[in-house]
Structure 1
C-alpha cells in the first residue's frame, strides 16, 4: 500500500508544483489579532493567565513521535500511549487522567474531535488524523471560564486550525527503523480570489515491538477558502483511515520473569481499524458594527478495536473483546458579537447530533466474534446557548460575565446481548453554567486575573439508561447525564523584560462525580466526588529573532472527597508534577531545529497511594538543514538519551498465559501493568519544494 501511495503522492506533488506558489491576489486581508502563547501580545487581550495560541513556527521545529503530541505545545499537557498507534492517545492535564479525552474538548477546523457515548470511552479524542505540517494555530484555554466551551471542557479546550495557503507546494519523505515510512505531499494555488489547498499523507510503522505493529495510515485533505479567519470562509474535506496490530500494556512480572521480552505482547491479535470522513464549513465577518461567526460539519466515523487488557483471566483463549462504534454526527454553531460603548456583547448557539447505528461490545478470539455482551443504537442531541458581556470599566479594570445553558436529549435502544435486553430508554437533562473573569492591569507589563466558572462532561447515554449490568445481569443504577465541574483560578502575567513573558496561576477544581464509562465492561462507574488544586508556571522567551524558549512547570494534587473502596482517597493516574523545556531555532538560515525535554513525576496507581509509578524523563531533538531553496533535510532523534522507562503504568488484575496454564491465575493477579517507552529512534526526512 505504501509504495502505491508514494507514486500517487509524487504525481500530486508534480501537479501542485505546476500550479506554482499560491498568490493572495484579490483576496481581502485584515490584520488579525492572535493571542500567542507566552508572548506579550497576551497582555490586554486574554481573559485568563492560562490561555494562548501556539503558532506554526513552534510546531515546525518540534520533534514529534506521534501526531497527537502536537497538543503538548499546551503548557502542562502530557500525551502518552498504552496500545497501538492507531488508537487515541492517553492525555494528562491538571491532575486529571483524561483517559482518551473525557475532560478536554478539541476541535480541528471547527469540527469536534471528542466522540460522545463512544464504544471505548466517553469523549474519545483520536488526533491521529491531524497533519502537523498544515496546522496554523493551536488556540487553547484551561479551566471552565470560557462560555464557548461546553461538553468535555472541565480542564480546558483546544482549537486547532489548518492553514489556508502554503508558501510553496512540497513533498516530504520520512524513513526510520522498524519500517517507518511516511510520505506527505501538499500545496495550494489561487483560483481567482479563492485559495485551494490539497494534501495527502500515507505511512507505515512496525514500531520496536516484538510483534510488528503493521500500522497503515492514509490521510487526505482538501480546503477551499476565501479571505481570513476573521473575514472570509473555508470549506474543508478530510478523509482518514488506518489499521494496526497493537502491543497492549502487560503485567510487568511477565517481562521480569522472562515470559515475554520488554517489547513483547501477550496477545497476538489485538489492534483494530478506524476511519473518519469529515466535511466542515466556517464563515466569519467582522466590521465596525460587530462580528459574526458560523460553522457547520458532518462526520462519518467508525472504529473496531480489539483488546485483551486483562490477558488470560478467563481461560487459555484469552480475554480479548471487540468494541465497535459506527456513527454519523453533524452540527454547527453561530456567534454574534456587537460593540458597546466600553465593551462588547456576544451571544452564541451550538448544536450537535450523534446517531450511532452500532455501539457494540463482543467477546472475541483472534478477532472472531463470539458472545455479544451488549449492542446498542444511540441517538443523542446536545444543544448549548450562551451570552457574554465584556466591559472595560477603566484602563486598569475589565470584566467578562457569562452564562451558558446546555441540554442533552438522548435515547438508547438495545439490539443485542443476553442481559442487555431490558436496558435502554429516553433520557434528558440540562445544566446552567455561570462564568466570571476579572482582569486588573496595574501597569502595561502586569496583569492579574481572577476566574471562576462551572462546566461539565456528559455521561455515556448507556450509563444513564441502563438498569442491568450487561456482562452478568446484576442490577445497575442509572447515572445522571451531567458530571458537574466547578473551578476557580488566580493568575498573574508579567513581562519583566522585552521578549520574556511569564505567567503563574493558582487553580482549584471540584467534580461532582468521577463518571467514567468503562468500555471494556460496557458499564459506567461513578467513582465519587473529587477535588483538585495546583499551581502552574509558564515562560515564553524570544531572546533573538527566530529563537523561542519555553519552560513550564505544573504541580497538582487530586483527591476523592471521601475514601473509596480500599480506604484510599488518591485519584489513580493523576500526575502531580510535570515540567518541560524547549528551544526552537529557525532564523531563516541553513540550519534550524528544536530540542524538547519533558519530566513526568511519579503518580499513584491505586487509591491508597502505596503503589506509585516511576518518574519519566525524556528528550527529543530535531535538526534540519536547508541545502538550497528547493531542498531540505531533517533528522529527528526521539528519546535522545535512550531512557529505559514506561510510557504509561497502571495497577490492576491480569494473568499471563503461563499463569493461566499453571492454575495460579484465579480471579486475576493484582500488579503493575506497563507499556514501555519506545527506545531511541532516528527518523530522517527530505523535503522538496516546487
Structure 2
C-alpha cells in the first residue's frame, strides 16, 4: 500500500511539473507566394526533437522547460533559417517565419528519422532543367522509370519500371493532386493513364515511391506510385512561346487573377492555357493538336482551414504512323519513319473538377476531404497485324469509350508526443466509381468504315476502401510504420452484343497489410526495410464472364535499402528488392489490349547517386537492374516479354547565379527479351538530351535538344505476328515505333507583374 501511495505521489508531481512547462508553436510561409509551406523540417537544436509542418504550414513543440532554444527550419529549394526563442512556463511562444527560395545545397540535406517514411521528391527546379515537351515526360525523372510513345504523342506513353512492362499503367498508380489518372477497364487496356491534361509549367513537384508500401495507395500500386502536385499560386503572370523542327510550335500562358492583394489575404487564383501543334518527324504528317485549360483557387477560408478548387479541360487529336515491322524497313519497302497503315490516329478529351478541404482542429487533428469528377472521351484507330485476319480490308481496329469518373478521398490524422516518442495515427476512406458508355472494340477500315463490332458494352466499376496507418518514431533514430487497407470492388458489365442483352456483375475484397522499419544511425546513414502487399484489379470484361475469379490478384513486395551521405555533398540511395505477383498482365498485339496470365516474380537492385561538384554544378546517376521471370514455366520459356533488365539515366545540371542554367542528360536501356523464350530481342538504346536556359527578372530564353547525337533508335518494340499485303504466310518479329531524331526547340518566356 505504501508503494502504491508513493507511485501515485510521483505521478501527481510529474503531472504538476508538466503542467508548468511551455510550448513553441509556429507557421512557415513561402516568402514569394505568401502561402503556408507543408513538409518543412523543424528541429530543436541539440535536443533530438524534430517535426515537419502540416498542410497549413504549422508545427508545435510541447513540454519544454523554461529556457532559450534554437529552432532550425529547412526545406529543399529554400534558404534554411535558425531562430532564437525563449520559452516561459505555462506559455506558448508563437513564431511566424517566411522562407525564401535558394539553390539546392546537398550539404544541407540531412538524413533524418523524422522524414523516414516520406516519399522522394522531384522539384520544379529539376523539371525546368530537363528538355520536356509534355507532362508525361516528367515521369522519366523518377529513377529507373522509362517511357515510350508509340502513337506520336497523342496516346498515353508506355511505362517501364522495376522489371515491368507496365503498358500504360497496369502496375503503377498515377495521380494529380490526389485525383486518379489510371482508368480501370479502359478501352485500350487496364490501368490506362494519360497525363497529357497536365500543363508541365504548372507542376510544382512530383512525389513518388517504389513498391506497395504506403497504406493510402490502392489499386495498381505494385511497382510503385507517382503523384503530381500542381502549383497553388503563380509567382507572376507569364506567356511562353516555343518553336522547333517538324512544324512544331507551342504556346502557354498563365494569368494571376488576384495579384498581391490576394497574397496578402493568403489567397491565390490563376488560369492557364496551352496549345500545341506538330507534324512530327514521321513521313506522314501527324497534324497533332492539343488544347489545355487549367484554373485553380487556393485560400484560407478560416485561420485553420484551407480550400483548393481546381478545374481543367483537355483535348487532343492526331494521326500516327503506328508500329512498323523490321522486315518492311529492312527490305526498303518503307523508310525508318514510314508507315504500313497511314490512316491510324485518334482523339481524346478529359475535363476535371477537384475540390480539397484541409482543416486543423483545436485538438490538432488534421482532417482532409477531397471530391473529384472527370468526364472522359477516347477514340483510337490502330493496326497491329496489318492483313493477318482480313487480307482484303486489313486489320485496323477502333477502341472507343465515354466515361464518367466520381470519387472521394478523406482522412483524419493526429500526431502525439510522449518525450522522444512520437506517433501519428491516420484513418482514411476512399471511393471511386467509373461508369463507361459504349466501350467498344470494332474492326474498321480507313477510320471511316465499320466492318464489324467485336465488343460493345457498358461498364460500372466501384472501388471503396478504408485504411488505418500508424507511424511511430520510437526514438530519434528508430521509426516504425504499420498499416492495413481493405478494398472492396463491384464490377458490372452490360454486354450489348449479347442476344439477349445481358447485365452481369462480380464482387470481391482484398486486405493489404504494410510494415516498414527505419533506423537512422547518424545524419549520414539510414537503413530501412519496407514490406507490404498491393494489388492490381482486373478488367471487368475479363472477370465478369469468369464469374468473378481473380478480380484482385495480390502482389507481395519488400525493399532492403539505405540512404547514405559518405561526404557532405554526396547522397546515395540503394535498395535490393523483391516482388511476387499472383497474376501477370501480358500485351496482346492483335487486339491492342492486355490480358491476365500466370504468376510472376521479380528481384533487383536500384542505385541512385547525387553529387554536387561545385556550388553550381550537380551530377547524378541512376542504375536499375532486374530479373523478371514467370512462375510455373520451364527454364528458358519463362521470360517476361519487354520487361527491362538493366537501365540507367544520369547527367550534369548547372545552376549559375547569373541566370544561366541547364542540363546534359543520357538514358540507356539494355537489350531485353521480346517473347517468352528470348528468341526475339528488343534492342537497347542510348540517347542524350540537352537543355540550356538563360533567365532574367522579366524573361527566360531556352534551348531544348532531344537526341543530341541524332541516334537512330527504336522507342517502343513488340514481338507481333503480322502479315503484309501479298505475303503468303504471317511473320512473328519485332514491330517498332522509331524514336525521336535530333529535335531542337527554342522558347521565350515573358513574365509580368512584380
Normalising by the residue count of structure 2, what TM-score does the alignment of the two structures yield? 0.82
Shift of 1:549: 2.8
Is 1:398–2:468 an aligned residue pair? no
| CA spacing shift, 1:364–1:421, aligned 2, 3 Å | farther
Quote the residue 2:654 is aligned against.
Answer: 585
Picking from 417, 437, 447, the partner of 2:516 is 437
Q: Contact conserved, 1:327 with 1:358, CA < 8 A, in 2?
A: no
Question: Against the structure 1 CA distance between its residues 412 and 230, is the aligned structure 2 distance closer, same or farther, given a 3 Å change threshold?
Answer: farther
Q: Classify 1:423/1:267 alpha carbon distance in 2 versus 1 (closer, same or farther; 3 Å).
A: farther
1:137 Cα deviation after fit = 0.8
| Pairwise CA distance, 1:610 | 2.4
Residue 313 (structure 2) aligned to one of 239, 263, 286: 239
Alignment partners' CA distance in 2, 1:517 and 1:560: 14
Structure 2 equivalent of residue 5 of structure 1: none
Matches within 5 A, 1:370-385: 370-385=451-466
**Match of residue 145, structure 1, among 202, 213, 217:** 213
In the TM superposition, what is the alpha-carbon distance from 1:298 to its structure 2 partner?
0.4
Q: Show the 5 A alignment for 1:61-76.
A: 61-76=129-144
Aligned to 1:482, the other structure's residue is in SS state coil
Comparing 229-238 and 114-123, the one that deviates more: 229-238
**Deviation sequence 1:182-215 (CA, Å, 0-9, x none):** 0001132436432111110001011110111110
Q: What does residue range 26-41 of structure 1 map to in structure 2 within 5 Å?
A: 32-33=40-41, 40-41=109-110
Separation in structure 1 between the aligned mates of residue 684 and residue 39 of structure 2, nearest angstrom: 45
User: Deviations along 1:497-535, whole A, 9 cap, x unmatched?
Assistant: 223211110000000011458595398633210000000
* Mapped contact 1:32–1:230 kept (Cα < 8 A): no
2:442 corresponds to which residue? 362
The counterpart of 2:610, out of the listed 536, 540, 545, is: 540
Distance in 2 separating the partners of 1:394 and 1:590: 43
- Contact 2:232–2:296, Cα closer than 8 Å, also in 1: yes
When residues 258 and 427 of structure 1 are mapped into structure 2, their CA distance, relative to the original with a 3 A threshold, is: same
Rounded to whole Å, the distance in 1 between the matches of 2:160 and 2:741 is: 22
- Residue of 281, 292, 304 corresponding to 1:219: 292
Q: Is residue 309 of structure 1 aligned with residue 390 of structure 2?
A: no
CA-CA distance at 1:413 after TM superposition: 0.4
- Rounded to whole Å, the distance in 1 between the matches of 2:691 and 2:397 is 39
Displacement of 1:374: 0.9
Give, in whole Å, the separation in 2 of the partners of 1:494 and 1:562. Answer: 38
Alignment of 1:620-631 (within 5 A): 620-626=689-695, 628-631=696-699
Structural RMSD (CA): 2.4
Q: Please state how far the C-alpha of 1:30 moved relative to its aligned partner.
A: 6.5
Q: Which of residues 485, 488, 498 is equivalent to 2:555?
A: 485
Q: Give the corresponding residue for 1:279.
A: 353
Partner of residue 326 from structure 1, selected from 391, 398, 402: 402
The correspondence for 1:531, drawn from 579, 595, 601, is: 601
- CA drift of 1:40 comes to 3.0
How far is 1:85 from its partner?
0.9
Aligned to 2:46: none
Answer yes or no: is the 8 Å Cα contact 1:241–1:273 preserved in 2. Answer: yes
Correspondence 1:550 to 2:616 = no
Q: Secondary structure at the match of 2:541?
A: helix
Q: 1:392 to 1:641 in 2, by over 3 A?
A: same
Give how far 1:630 is off.
Answer: 2.1
Would you say 1:561 and 2:631 are equivalent positions?
yes
Q: 1:278 to 1:143 in 2, by over 3 A?
A: same
Task: State whether residues 255 and 270 of structure 2, in contact with CA within 8 Å, keep that contact through their aligned partners in structure 1.
Answer: yes
CA contact (8 A) 2:239 2:251 kept: yes
Cα contact 2:113–2:479 (8 A) shared by 1: no
The alpha carbon displacement at 1:92 in A equals 0.2
Counterpart-to-counterpart distance in 1, 2:507 and 2:203: 37
Shift of 1:587: 3.0
Taking structure 1 as the reference length, what is the TM-score of the superposition? 0.89
SS in 2 for 1:150: coil
Cα distance change on mapping 1:379 and 1:31 into 2, 3 Å: closer
Q: Is the 8 A contact 1:65 1:638 kept in 2?
A: no
> Aligned equivalents of 2:205 and 2:239: distance in 1?
22
Task: Report the CA distance shift for 1:94/1:593 in structure 2 as closer, same or farther (over 3 A).
Answer: same
**1:541 deviation in Å?**
2.9
Say if 1:405 and 1:490 are closer, same or farther in 2 by CA, change over 3 A: same
CA contact (8 A) 1:459 1:517 kept: no
Q: Conserved in 2, the CA contact under 8 Å of 1:96 and 1:574?
A: yes
Q: How far apart are residue 295 of structure 1 and its match? A: 1.2
CA distance in 1, matches of 2:295, 2:608: 36
Cα 1:596–1:321 shift into 2, 3 Å? same
The separation in 1 between residues aligned to 2:479 and 2:195, in whole angstroms, is 36
Structure 2 spans left out of the alignment, 5+ residues: 1-30, 42-51, 53-74, 77-103
Q: Where in structure 2 are the equivalents of 1:58-97 lying within 5 Å?
A: 58-97=126-165
* Distance in 2 of aligned mates of 1:89 and 1:532: 23
- In structure 2, relative to structure 1, the CA distance for the partners of 1:544 and 1:290 (3 Å cut) is farther
Q: Residue 531 of structure 2 contacts residue 557 of structure 2 at CA under 8 Å; is this kept in 1?
A: yes
Against the structure 1 CA distance between its residues 185 and 604, is the aligned structure 2 distance closer, same or farther, given a 3 Å change threshold?
same
- Are the aligned partners of 2:131 and 2:704 in contact in 1 as well (CA < 8 Å)? yes
Query: Which whole-Å deviations, capped at 9, do the CAs of 1:568-598 have from their partners, x for residues lacking one?
Result: 1000010011111132222342321112111
* Cα separation, 2, equivalents of 1:230 and 1:635: 44
Deviations 1:17-48 (A, max 9, x none): xxxxx9756x6666745886998355324446
Give the match for residue 465 of structure 1: 544
Q: 1:523 to 1:69 in 2, by over 3 A?
A: closer
- Whether the 8 Å CA contact 1:120–1:520 is kept in 2: the answer is no
Residue 633 of structure 1 deviates from its aligned partner by: 1.5
TM alignment of 1:77-226, pairs within 5 A = 77-190=145-258, 192=262, 193=265, 194-226=267-299
Map Cα deviations across residues 238-289 of structure 1 (whole Å, 9 max, x no partner): 1000100011111111001111111001112111000000001122234772
Residues 165 and 189 of structure 1 are in contact (CA less than 8 Å); yes or no, is this contact kept in structure 2?
A: no
- Work out whether 1:298 is the aligned partner of 2:373: yes
Distance in 2, matches of 1:631 and 1:526, equals 51
Q: Is the 8 A contact 1:291 1:338 kept in 2?
A: yes
**Unmatched segments (≥5 aa) in structure 1:** 1-21, 468-476
Aligned partner of residue 54 in structure 1, secondary structure: strand
Asked which structure has the greater RCO (Cα within 8 Å, sep 6+), the reply is 1
Distance, in Å, in 1 between the alignment partners of 2:538 and 2:332 is: 41
- The verdict on how the C-alpha distance between 1:278 and 1:491 changes in structure 2, with shifts beyond 3 A counting, is same
Give the secondary structure class of the aligned counterpart of 1:225: strand
Aligned partners of 2:134 and 2:199 also within 8 Å: no
Deviation at 1:423, TM superposition (A): 6.6
Q: Which residue of 2 aligns with 1:647?
A: 715
